[in-house]
Amino acid sequence: MSFWTRVAGIILRNRYIVLIFIAAITAFLVSQMKYMRFSYTEANLLPEDHQANLEYNQFLKIFGEEGNLVILGIKDSTIFSPEKFNAWNKLTKSFDTVSQVDFTVSISDVKQLKADRKKRKFILEPLFEKAPKTKEEVEKIQTQLFEKLPFYENLLYNKEGVLQTAIYINKDIVNTIERRNFIAEILIPRIDKFEKDYNVDVRISGMPYIRTVNSQNIIDEMVFFVAGALLITALIFFFFFRSFRATFITLLVVSIGVTWAFGFIGWFRYEITVLSALIPPLIIVIGVPNAVFLINKYQQEVKKHGNQAKSLQRVIAKIGNATLMTNITTASGFATFVFVKSQLLREFGILASVNIISIFILALLIIPIIYSFMPLPKKKHLNHLEKKWMGQVVDWMERMVRKRRISIYITTVIVIILGLIGLFQIRVSGSLIEDMPKGMQFYKDIKFFEKEFGGIMPLEILVDTKREKGVMKLSTLKKMDKLHEAIETFPELSKPVSVVNLVKYSKQAYYKGKPKYYQLPTSQEKAHIFAYTKNSNSNAGMLNNFVDSTGRYARITTFMKDVGTDKMDIIQERLGAVIKKQFPNEKFDVSMTGKALVFLKGTNYLIKNLVISLSLAIVLISIFMAWMFRSPQMILISLIPNMLPLLITAGLMGFFDIPIKPSTILVFSIAFGISVDDTIHFLAKYRQELLANNWKVRKSVYAALRETGVSMFYTSIVLFFGFLVFTISSFGGTIALGGLVSITLLLAMVSNLILLPSLLLTFEKKIANKKVFKEPAMKIIPPKEENN
């Protein structure tokens, strides 16, 4: 008695115990779902010891969280009427009383820096003390702000008359659920009320706001698309099998698998990130083929001899090992992510591999056990096995393999050439907002702030002078001013803000507030102006935002438009040249950082690791093939049909300008995993037929094609439509992932049902003997089938 025959007996004899065991594990994992939490920070794709992370953490240590700014903007000429102007300022000040807010900065907070000649110090005076009551008073404030206070340009206003208000969220809660509560329950309702009361359009942006709204959209869509994929999968599955029980059992297995997936996320205390959010649909991808192969085999056995016990035993014994191998190879492909340094990728690799093995165990246990409680399938449930159109599809594939192999090879070569051409056109995108739904208001607001103020994603430059009070040396300030000028040449960057702006403002104040003196002081002026600064605490608070307490470190803050990795590389290179010229290494350490930059670098790192892990997966699966089939030739023959869908997918991404980014990068891993599954099922059946037919390759290939073709066709069509649901998403990445996976699944099926048999027939003389095709290390499918 074979191992799998004994396994089948244990499962079917102890079916109540097995079901109780599954129920207990499910209950435990459901209880762990309460620990699930969505990531409240941008996906950090880099390892902790990466240079970009070290530089960013150094910046945070000195100046604290930089991504805590929510921006309100308004472009409306009527805002300068007394009623609306005062209401706008009142709205802003209302946030000062909220515990989640540190402070706000708006027009009502504007202070004019003035020189007190008698006391030789600077003092701060409010731009206005009382709320203006007439149009003239508002216009006077507007003129004073727009024409005489260049320090506040691009901070609180621009020359087009657009007003901007800054809300600084408490740094301790900016990466917690409290931030979401503030945005959803306080900020948005108050803004909505203001818009309704005064008939104006308020724009909202800033990284905390974008992350909150976008995260909620991802959560909503993840639930919607998992449910949608299950529904469409069920409908197509029923169309093929015409059996409510088969559809119900498949949905039950996949649903429990998805529940386990969420439970594992909670149990491992992992956050739901841009990658781990893909685990549930991945479980559907892996679970449905398992169910199709098991149910199809059960129905074939029932039709053959009508004995339920024997049918269930054979399902486990004959399909169990092949399905185990397909799931192990797929899980191994994802498990290669465990070996990379990125925490995000490592977590994804662990979750994917654990859940793939789990869904295999669930399918192998639940499907035979539930069928054991049910009556035998009726004749109408088995009719799909004899459908004429399905037979015609298989006949067509057989004819292609039998008579058109040259055409198949020519087509394959053409496809490879086109794929390679497309491959070299693929671009990499590290964009934070490219995937965001273009029709959503928050995306339009991002574009508004990019147009009016130059962007909303902070790019920080940290200047280390390597000595205390080194920042305030005039030579250092002049170097920083040169860097300011370089930054202003980039249309992708906003006007920078640093201590340089404050020193310029001090000189302007020293010369009675005349705007033409908004510039750095000369060596002679410096002593006089800095003497005023030392006697004054007026601008100490402002200074703390730009210089650390020791005077050693300074920050230059600019805001980026949504640029991809290519443009960012150019910006870094050009700014790097200016930094190298102005700040010699022996006297200064200067680094560019910020969350947006870390994300961009993380995308490049992710792609590099994808290539490594995919290469490792190919090597690993090659070793599996060699171990299972003991034939070096079989490794090459089996890998070619699996590499082809990957190449076609890459080509499509190049031709249709679908960039490689975190949301699309896993297409290749999914494609390879599914394709290998089909290959193993085909080769397992092929080897069984070889043994049964005394090593007659042609007869064995056609027999394997006829038996596995139906299951592979059903699987691919079900999954094609299941993933096609994702193309109605509002997120670009989800649309691309759904479309690419759908197409790749069909390509993998065609490749394995047409190209693979063709290769087997072409190389039959080299593989059709026992010396080359040795006894496998593990019997994938028992060599003999009883006839009764």
Q: What is the mean pLDDT of residues 489-511?
A: 91
* 694 Cβ contact partners less than 8 Å away, ≥ 6 residues apart: none
Asked if residue 728 has pLDDT above 70, the reply is: yes
Asked if residue 85 has pLDDT above 90, the reply is: yes
Per-range mean pLDDT, top range of 12-16, 175-179, 275-279: 12-16
Asked if residue 776 has pLDDT above 60, the reply is: no
Asked if residue 400 has pLDDT above 60, the reply is: yes
Centre a 10 Å sphere on the Cβ of residue 249 and count the other Cβ atoms it contains. Answer: 22
Grade residue 684 by pLDDT with cuts at 50, 70 and 90.
confident
Q: What is the mean pLDDT of residues 122-140?
A: 89
Q: What is the pLDDT of residue 48?
A: 82
Centre a 10 Å sphere on the Cβ of residue 365 and count the other Cβ atoms it contains. Answer: 18
Torsion, Cα of 333, 334, 340, 345 (10° steps): 160
Grade residue 536 by pLDDT with cuts at 50, 70 and 90.
low
Q: 79 near 621, Cβ under 8 Å?
A: no
Least confident residue range of 206-210, 413-417, 628-632? 628-632
Least confident residue range of 424-433, 469-478, 508-517? 424-433
Q: Sign of the C-alpha dihedral, residues 610, 615, 619, 621?
A: positive
Rounded CA gap, 504 and 546, in Å? 14
Q: What is the pLDDT of residue 195?
A: 94
Higher pLDDT residue, 62 or 174? 62
In which residue are the tokens 């040396």 written?
473
Q: What is the mean pLDDT of residues 156-170?
A: 89
**Predicted confidence (pLDDT) per residue in 328-341, tens digit:** 877 877 887 887 77
Q: 355 near 267, Cβ under 8 Å?
A: no
Rounded CA gap, 226 and 282, in Å? 10
Q: Whose CA is closest to 561, among 495, 493, 461, 459?
A: 493
Q: What is the pLDDT of residue 395?
A: 85
Q: Specify the pairing of strand 37-38 against strand 271-272.
A: parallel
Domains and CATH numbers, the chain: 3-42+213-424+599-767 (1.20.1640.10), 455-593 (3.30.70)
Q: What is the mean pLDDT of residues 675-700?
A: 80
Q: Whose CA is closest to 194, among 109, 104, 79?
A: 79
Grade residue 616 by pLDDT with cuts at 50, 70 and 90.
confident
**Predicted confidence (pLDDT) per residue in 217-229, tens digit:** 777 777 777 788 7
Least confident residue range of 113-127, 277-291, 612-626? 612-626
Q: What is the pLDDT of residue 787?
A: 41
Q: Whose CA is closest to 504, among 485, 491, 490, 489?
A: 485
Q: 85 near 133, Cβ under 8 Å?
A: no
Nearest-10 crossing angle of helices 82-94, 188-198: 170
Higher pLDDT residue, 420 or 612? 420
Grade residue 360 by pLDDT with cuts at 50, 70 and 90.
very high
Q: What is the pLDDT of residue 552?
A: 94
Rounded CA gap, 332 and 588, in Å? 47
**Predicted confidence (pLDDT) per residue in 577-586, tens digit:** 999 999 999 9
Nearest-10 crossing angle of helices 405-423, 388-403: 90
Q: Which helix (H) or strand (E) holds 553?
A: strand 553-560
Residue 110 in tokens: 């504007």
**Predicted confidence (pLDDT) per residue in 227-251, tens digit:** 887 888 788 878 877 788 888 999 9
Rounded CA gap, 390 and 780, in Å? 27
Grade residue 780 by pLDDT with cuts at 50, 70 and 90.
very low
Rounded CA gap, 697 and 762, in Å? 10
Q: What is the pLDDT of residue 519?
A: 93
Q: What is the mean pLDDT of residues 316-328?
A: 80
Put simply, whether the predicted model's pTM sits higher than 0.75 gets the answer yes
Grade residue 537 by pLDDT with cuts at 50, 70 and 90.
low
Asked if residue 203 has pLDDT above 90, the reply is: yes
Please provide the average confidence, as pLDDT, over all residues in the chain: 84
Q: What is the mean pLDDT of residues 60-69?
A: 82
Calculate what percentage of the chain has a pLDDT beyond 90. Answer: 29
Q: Sign of the C-alpha dihedral, residues 627, 749, 334, 261?
A: negative
Calculate what percentage of the chain has a pLDDT beyond 70. Answer: 93
Q: What is the mean pLDDT of residues 728-752?
A: 83
